[in-house]
Every structure is written in C-alpha cells, then in structure tokens.
Amino acid sequence: MSQNSIIMPGSPLTGTGLVSAVDGAFDSLATDFSGTSEPGTTWALMKWADMTNDILKIRNLANDGWIDFMDLTTGNILTNAVTATTADNVYMPIKIFNNLRIITESTLAYVGADSLSLFNSSGLAKIVRNISSLNINAINSGVNGLDTGSIAASTWYSVWVIYNPTTETTAGLFSLSSTAPTLPSGYTYYVRIGWVVTNDDSIFYPTEQYGRRAQYLVDSSSPSMRVMANGVAGTYSTTLPTWANIVVTNVYIPSTARVIDIVAFNNYESGTLSNVIVAPHQLYGGVASTTGNIPMLYLSSAAAMISKMSMMLQYTTSMSWVSSAAGGVIYCVGWEDNL
C-alpha cells in the first residue's frame, strides 16, 4: 500500500531508478493509493482507499472532492451525496437488477436474477449475485413464504428478495405492502422485484415477468385471458364519444405499474361486430376528431379485428373505452412495473 507518484521524473534515470519508480507507481495503482490521508496529487476519476474510514473513494469530475464508493469492511456499495440544506454525507445506493425473472404457478413464485441490489433501513446496498433457484410459497410463513397472515383470494402480493448478512442467506418473501414488508429475524436487506395476484380460488394467476414487464399466461390452470370488460359500453361516436371507465389499478395491474398491456377484439364469442375505441381517459375524442385527440386504439365494425397495445395510464387508476355492440371486448395481458 502506497501513495507514490505515477508520473515519471523528467530528469534522466538510471536503470535501477527507473525500475524503482515504475514499481512504486504500479504499487500505488494496484492498491488504489491507499493511505490514512488523501494523496498529495489528485486528478478526476482516480481512486483512493481511505484507510482512516475504510472507504474506497473516487475523485469527482471537477477534481475538487471525493465520492464514497464502497465500504471496505462490509463491501456495501455507497454513493456520496450532499443534501440541499446540510453538508452531511447521505448514502444513496444505486438500484440494480440484471436478468430478473419471476414465474408463478399455484401458490409458488420462482425467482431468478444474475444480480440484484438490496437495501437495509440505513439505505446501504448489498449486491447479491447468481440467484438461480429461489422458490417462494405463499402457503409458508416467513422466509420463502408470506410475511404475515394467510393467502387470500383476489389479492395482490408484492415479491421481495431478502438477505441475512449474518448467515449470508438469500431468500424470498411475499407481502401485502409495496414498501415495508415484515422481515423475518436476521434479514435486514430487502428489495421489491415485482407482484403476483391470486384468483378467486386463492392461487396465483400464472404470470411471467422479465425485468420490468410481466404478462398473464394462458395455460391449463387459466385457460383464457383476463377479460376487463365486454359488450356495449359507453356511446360510440366518431367525434364525441361517451366513454366508459374501467378501474385497472389493484384489479388487473399492481399499484406500482404505470403501463398496461391490452388486447381488444370486436367479435367476442361471435357477438355482433362492434366499433371499439380505447384511450387513457375521457378527454379523448373520436376517430374523426378535428382537434387531434383521437383514441389510441380503434377497431371498425366492418370486419372482425384484433389489436394489442401498451398504454401508459394518465392522471388516474382507470382507463376508458367504448364498444358499440356485443362483440366488443378488452383483455388485460400484462403490465410494466415501476421498479
């Protein structure tokens, strides 16, 4: 460990002197200029192992201060920030998830990820890697189960990865809370990674989630897509339709989702062909609107049609649609979570 200069002296050096200077420079680089005080010469983006505070620091771009990067004792990733009202350091971890996936069936969720950042109550981060076979069962209580209570019908449960730093154990957890699960004893790091939802029989709708996007599955346990509404709804007009609302948040998508994936069809169960229009809210006009606020989706009653779209919710927890005849239907096929 050293803080030798990495700039070679300008005057001629003997062979021995050059080797010594190069060795000293490499030693400083290899040990991140470790020392109890900062190096005498600094430059933007250099690293310094602060041995007084046991923190690995990075010099900022302006070369006028240090960013706390890692706690050398615990391995916690740190980010140094100065608040608007004080000069105190606040540790604010960066949220990371790589190749995140959640697959559900019955009362189970299978979780995997290449890496995840988990946080404790102080805001410090712990990176957990190579999660390949984490199985959470809502029949269980506590670790790899439900944090409190019993599984209920038609209920959304947040999915968490939790970590016990004493036993170095990674586990999973279901919770009704989107922000503060009841953690099992010893598990002090946690991160929400998604949601699952039960049907009327108190088992999960089959879903797959990759990254932020989740999709309902059609399989033997759930042989049809989730119908949000069908039949006549609102009053169809090419200029000023009367919209019907569908409440979607906490029904078809979780509370933290802002994007819904839908499929619309105008010949549902061979019903009368319908004109179908869809929009985020009721301020949109019809397909012939002259103000540019046309709907985001339109199916004509001239022929059977199917269309899929992703739509961001605006202002409310609802969306709007109109169907002119019995054949109109709108399905929820998935969502994008705000992780």
- Does 284 share its domain with 326? yes
Residue 129 above 60 pLDDT?
A: yes
- Which residues is 48 bridged to in the sheet? 57
What is the pLDDT confidence band of residue 92, given thresholds at 50, 70 and 90? very low
State the DSSP string of 34-76.
Answer: -BSS--SS--TT-EEEETTTTEEEEE-TTSS-EEEEEETTT--
Please say whether the beta carbons of 144 and 164 come within 8 A: no
pLDDT 10s digits, 262-281:
999 999 999 999 999 999 99
* Domains held by the chain: number: 3
pLDDT in tens, 287-312: 998 888 899 999 999 999 999 999 99
> Does 332 score more than 90 pLDDT?
yes
56 vs 171, residue with greater confidence = 171
- What letter represents residue 325's amino acid? A
What was the pLDDT predicted at 82?
30
Span of 69-73, 83-87, 110-114, 279-283 with lowest mean pLDDT:
83-87
Q: Of 44, 64, 91, which residue constitutes the final position of a domain?
A: 91
Q: In the predicted model, is pLDDT for residue 85 greater than 70? A: no
What pLDDT, on the 0 to 100 scale, is given for residue 5?
Answer: 66
> Which residue, 53, 71, 91, sits at the end of a domain?
91
- The pLDDT tens digits for 309-321 are 999 998 889 999 9
CB 230 within 8 A of CB 329: yes
Weakest-pLDDT range from 16-20, 68-72, 185-189, 241-245:
16-20
pLDDT at 338 over 70: yes
Do residues 122 and 166 both lie within one domain? yes
Q: Is the pLDDT of residue 89 over 60?
A: no
Record the pTM: 0.73
Nearest to 70 by CA among 27, 127, 120, 118: 127
265 with 208, same domain: the answer is no
**Residue 219 within a domain:** no
Can you read off the two tokens belonging to residue 272?
């009368």
Structural element, H or E, at residue 104: strand 101-105
Question: Stretch 39-50: mean pLDDT, rounded?
Answer: 86
- For tokens 């391995």, what's the residue? 75
pLDDT (mean) for 143-167: 95
- Is residue 2 included in any domain, yes or no? no
Name the average pLDDT for the chain. 87
Residue 295, domain CATH: 2.60.120
Q: Please give the pLDDT value at position 100.
A: 95
Neighbours of 267 (CB within 10 A): 20
Adjacency order of strands within the sheet including 47-50: 47-50, 55-59, 66-71
Do 239 and 284 lie in one domain? The reply is yes
pLDDT for res 4: 66
Domain boundary among 72, 91, 110: 91
Q: Does any domain span residue 275? A: yes
Structural domain containing residue 329 = 226-337
Count of alpha carbons within 13 angstroms of residue 46, beta-carbon side:
23
Would you say residue 106 lies in a domain?
A: yes
**Does any domain span residue 3?**
no
Band of pLDDT at residue 83, cut at 50, 70 and 90: very low
Q: Is residue 4 part of a domain?
A: no
